[in-house]
Homo-oligomer: A and B are copies of this chain.
Amino acid sequence: MAKYIVEFIGTFFLVFTVGMTVIGAGAGVIPPLAIGSALMVMIYAGGHISGGHYNPAVTLAVWIRGRCSTVDAIAYWVAQVLAGLAAAYVVLYMRKQPTVTAMNPDLARALIAEALFTFALAYVVLNVATAKGTAGNSNYGLAIGFTVLTGAFAVGDISGGAFNPAVAVGITAMGLSAVKNIWIYLVADLAGGAAAGLVFRLLNPDDK
């Protein structure tokens, strides 16, 4: 049970930081730096208990790689989505029910952007947090958090830069993304995570 609570706490602070900085600071250097840092610190805080996924696409990748049981994967998904929703409602209260405009992304480009960087994110996670070759390295949290920072800078203006279905649920509940577009994140992010799981197995045949 402790690990599900840890997943809830970490995802809550990640999505809360997304909402507070995107609504508060808009575009620029602040949201990606804050969001990447939020993910990083929550990974350092909770990684030793839950693995520090905070992201259904990462959980899918870790499940494919064989380091997460099916029961845990389902419970993680539930905890992550509930945390994304909870964070969204706290953001709406803290920002006084802001008037925000949902993005109007170009579908093909948004799908590519989300798939590419969710692949990168899960590829980094699997290599820095589950591979034998990087055991003992302290920088897994920095690497994972700053992959999201990089992706948010690179393609944030194209897809919003979620790379995470729980974040997608949160920004949809906040009104930053339209309900009709949530499938973009679900499809592209889970596909990117699954692809990373398969690529990891291909590249590391001896690391079971």
Interface residues of A (CB under 8 A from B): 2, 5-6, 9, 13, 16-17, 20-21, 24-25, 28-34, 36-38, 40-42, 44-49, 90, 93-94, 109, 112-113, 116, 120, 123-124, 127-128, 131, 133-134, 136-144, 146-147, 149-150, 153-155, 157-158, 199, 202-204
Contacts and interface: CB of A to CB of B under 8 A. Distances in A.
Contact of A109 (B6, B94, B141): B94
B150 A44 contact: no
Contact of A41 (B6, B143, B153): B143
B154 A34 contact: yes
A7 B2 CA distance: 32
B203 A134 contact: no
A1 B204 CA distance: 11
Interface on chain A toward B: helix, strand, loop, or mixed SS? helix
Contacts of A24: 154, 157
Q: How many chain copies does the complex carry?
A: 4
Contacts of A203: 2, 5-6, 49
Given A20-B155, A30-B153, A153-B30, A44 B9 contact: no
A47 B29 CA distance: 28
A46 B37 CA distance: 22
B143 A40 contact: yes
